[in-house]
A and B are shown apart, each in its own frame.
Chain A
Amino acid sequence: MDMHLSSNNGPAVESNEAELHSAVPVRERLVVVGNGMAGMKTVEELLAKAPGRFDITVFGAEPHPNYNRIMLSPVLAGEKTFDQIVLNSREWYDANGIALLTGEAVESIDRAGKMVVSQSGRVVPYDRLLIATGSMPFIIPVPGSTLPGVIGFRDLADVDAMLAAAAKGGRAVVIGGGLLGLEAANGLRVKGMEVTVVHLMPTLMERQLDPSAGMLLQRELERRGIEVLTGADTAEIVGNNREGGEWVSAVRLRDGRELPADIVVMAVGIRPNMALGKAAGVECGRGIRVDDRMRTSDPSIYAVGECVEHRGVTWGLVAPLFEMAKVLAHDLAGGEGAAYTGSVTSTKLKVTGVDVFSAGDFSGGAGTEDIVFRDAARGVYKRLVLKDGKLLGAVLYGDTKDGAWYFSLLKDGADVSAERDTMIFGQGFGSADAGDPNAAIAALPDSAEICGCNGVCKGTIVKAITEKGLTSLDEVKAHTKASASCGGCSGTVERLLAVTLGDGFTAAPKVKPMCKCTRHTHDQVRAAIVDRGLKTMAEVFQAMEWTTPDGCASCRPALNYYLLCAWPGEYRDDYQSRYINERAHANIQKDGTYSVVPRMWGGLTNAAELRAIADVVDKFAIPTVKVTGGQRIDLFGVKKEDLPAVWADLNAAGMVSGHAYAKGLRTVKTCVGSEWCRFGTQDSTGLGVKLERMTWGTWTPHKVKLAVSGCPRNCAEATIKDLGVVCIDSGYELHVGGNGGLHVRACDLLVRVGTEEEVLEYTGAFMQLYREEARYLERTAPWVERVGLDHIKAALVEDPERRRDLNARFLFSQTFSQDDPWAERAAKGVDRHEFNLLAEVG
Chain B
Amino acid sequence: MDTAASETVWTQVGSIDDIPVLGSRVVRTPGGDIALFRTAADEVFALEDACPHKQGPLSQGIVHGRRVTCPLHSWVIELATGEAVAPDEGRTGHVPVRVEGRSVSLALAEAKLSRGGCRKACGHV
A interface list, Cβ under 8 A from B: 210-211, 362-368, 370, 385, 548-553, 556-557, 575-580, 584, 588, 590, 592, 833, 837-842
Which of the residues A368, A580, A590 comes within 8 Å of B60, measured between beta carbons?
A580
Q: Quick one: CB contact mask for B4-38 with A, threshold 8 Å, 1 for yes?
A: 00000001011000111111011111110000100
Q: Which residue of B lies closest to A842 (CB)?
A: B30
Give every chain A residue within 8 A of B13 (Cβ-Cβ).
838-839, 841
B93 CB, nearest partner CB in chain A, Å: 14
For chain B, the count of residues having a C-beta within 8 Å of the partner chain is 43
Give the docked Cα–Cα distance between A720 and B81 (Å): 46
A591 CB, nearest partner CB in chain B, Å: 8
Q: Quick one: CB contact mask for B79-121 with A, threshold 8 Å, 1 for yes?
A: 0110000000000000000000000001010000000000000
The 4 lowest CB-CB distance pairs between A and B, nearest first, are: A366-B80, A838-B25, A553-B69, A576-B22
Tell whether, in the assembled complex, residue A842 and residue B64 are in contact, meaning their CB atoms are under 8 Å apart: no
Give every chain B residue within 8 A of A592 (Cβ-Cβ).
55-57, 60
Tell whether, in the assembled complex, residue B74 and residue A553 are in contact, meaning their CB atoms are under 8 Å apart: yes
Give the docked Cα–Cα distance between A460 and B65 (Å): 39
Query: With A548-B65, A576-B22, A579-B71 in contact, is A837–B27 under 8 Å at CB?
Result: yes
Interface residues of B in 47-91 (CB under 8 A from A): 54-57, 60-66, 69, 71-72, 74, 76, 80-81
B108 CB, nearest partner CB in chain A, Å: 7
Give every chain A residue within 8 A of B43 (Cβ-Cβ).
362-365
Give every chain A residue within 8 A of B27 (Cβ-Cβ).
837-841
Give the docked Cα–Cα distance between A840 and B43 (Å): 21
Tell whether, in the assembled complex, residue A211 and residue B72 are in contact, meaning their CB atoms are under 8 Å apart: no
Tell whether, in the assembled complex, residue A833 and residue B41 are in contact, meaning their CB atoms are under 8 Å apart: no
Tell whether, in the assembled complex, residue B18 and residue A549 are in contact, meaning their CB atoms are under 8 Å apart: no
Tell whether, in the assembled complex, residue B40 and residue A367 are in contact, meaning their CB atoms are under 8 Å apart: no
A606 CB, nearest partner CB in chain B, Å: 34
Give every chain A residue within 8 A of B76 (Cβ-Cβ).
553
Which of the residues B11, B18, B55, B66 comes within 8 Å of A841, measured between beta carbons?
B11
Give the docked Cα–Cα distance between A625 and B86 (Å): 39
Give the docked Cα–Cα distance between A621 and B80 (Å): 38
Tell whether, in the assembled complex, residue B22 and residue A833 are in contact, meaning their CB atoms are under 8 Å apart: no
Q: Which residue of B lies closest to A591 (CB)?
A: B55
Give every chain B residue within 8 A of A838 (Cβ-Cβ).
13-14, 18-19, 25-27, 36
Give every chain B residue within 8 A of A577 (Cβ-Cβ).
22, 62
Tell whether, in the assembled complex, residue B60 and residue A584 are in contact, meaning their CB atoms are under 8 Å apart: yes
Query: With A366-B80, A367-B80 in contact, is A837–B71 under 8 Å at CB?
Result: no
Tell whether, in the assembled complex, residue B64 and residue A552 are in contact, meaning their CB atoms are under 8 Å apart: yes
Tell whether, in the assembled complex, residue B56 and residue A363 are in contact, meaning their CB atoms are under 8 Å apart: no
Give every chain B residue within 8 A of A363 (Cβ-Cβ).
39, 41-43
Give every chain A residue within 8 A of B41 (Cβ-Cβ).
210, 362-363, 385
Which of the residues B28, B36, B71 comes within 8 Å of A588, measured between beta carbons?
B71
Give the docked Cα–Cα distance between A459 and B81 (Å): 51
Give every chain B residue within 8 A of A590 (Cβ-Cβ).
54, 56, 72
Tell whether, in the assembled complex, residue B65 and residue A210 are in contact, meaning their CB atoms are under 8 Å apart: no
Tell whether, in the assembled complex, residue A837 and residue B108 are in contact, meaning their CB atoms are under 8 Å apart: no
Which of the residues B31, B42, B63 comes within 8 Å of A576, measured between beta carbons?
B63
Which of the residues A367, A385, A553 comes within 8 Å of B64, measured between beta carbons?
A553
**10 interchain pairs, CB-CB under 8 A:** A363-B42, A365-B43, A367-B80, A370-B65, A551-B64, A584-B60, A588-B60, A592-B60, A833-B18, A841-B27
Give every chain A residue within 8 A of B108 (Cβ-Cβ).
841-842
Give the docked Cα–Cα distance between A87 and B29 (Å): 59
Q: Which residue of B lies closest to A368 (CB)?
A: B66
Q: Which residue of B lies closest to A840 (CB)?
A: B28
Q: Which residue of A lies closest to B80 (CB)?
A: A366
Q: Which residue of B lies closest to A839 (CB)?
A: B13
Tell whether, in the assembled complex, residue A576 and residue B21 are in contact, meaning their CB atoms are under 8 Å apart: yes
Tell whether, in the assembled complex, residue A548 and residue B64 are in contact, meaning their CB atoms are under 8 Å apart: yes
Query: With A363-B41, A363-B43, A592-B56 in contact, is A837–B65 under 8 Å at CB?
Result: no
Give every chain B residue within 8 A of A549 (Cβ-Cβ).
40, 65
Tell whether, in the assembled complex, residue A552 and residue B65 are in contact, meaning their CB atoms are under 8 Å apart: yes
Which of the residues B30, B54, B61 comes within 8 Å of A580, measured between beta carbons?
B61
Give the docked Cα–Cα distance between A551 and B26 (Å): 24
Give every chain B residue within 8 A of A575 (Cβ-Cβ).
20, 23
Give the docked Cα–Cα distance between A833 and B45 (Å): 18
Give every chain A residue within 8 A of B71 (Cβ-Cβ).
579-580, 588
Tell whether, in the assembled complex, residue B66 and residue A839 are in contact, meaning their CB atoms are under 8 Å apart: no
Tell whether, in the assembled complex, residue B20 and residue A833 are in contact, meaning their CB atoms are under 8 Å apart: yes
B14 CB, nearest partner CB in chain A, Å: 5
Give every chain A residue within 8 A of B31 (Cβ-Cβ).
842
Give the docked Cα–Cα distance between A363 and B104 (Å): 14
Tell whether, in the assembled complex, residue A833 and residue B25 are in contact, meaning their CB atoms are under 8 Å apart: yes
Give the docked Cα–Cα distance between A833 and B18 (Å): 8
Tell whether, in the assembled complex, residue B65 and residue A841 are in contact, meaning their CB atoms are under 8 Å apart: no
Which of the residues A366, A553, A837 comes within 8 Å of B62, measured between beta carbons?
A553
Give the docked Cα–Cα distance between A685 and B94 (Å): 54
A360 CB, nearest partner CB in chain B, Å: 12
Tell whether, in the assembled complex, residue A842 and residue B72 are in contact, meaning their CB atoms are under 8 Å apart: no
Give every chain A residue within 8 A of B11 (Cβ-Cβ).
841
Give the docked Cα–Cα distance between A368 and B71 (Å): 23
Give the docked Cα–Cα distance between A368 and B41 (Å): 12
B65 CB, nearest partner CB in chain A, Å: 6
Q: Which residue of A lies closest to B42 (CB)?
A: A363
Tell whether, in the assembled complex, residue A556 and residue B62 are in contact, meaning their CB atoms are under 8 Å apart: yes
Q: Which residue of A lies closest to B74 (CB)?
A: A553
Give every chain A residue within 8 A of B20 (Cβ-Cβ).
575-576, 833
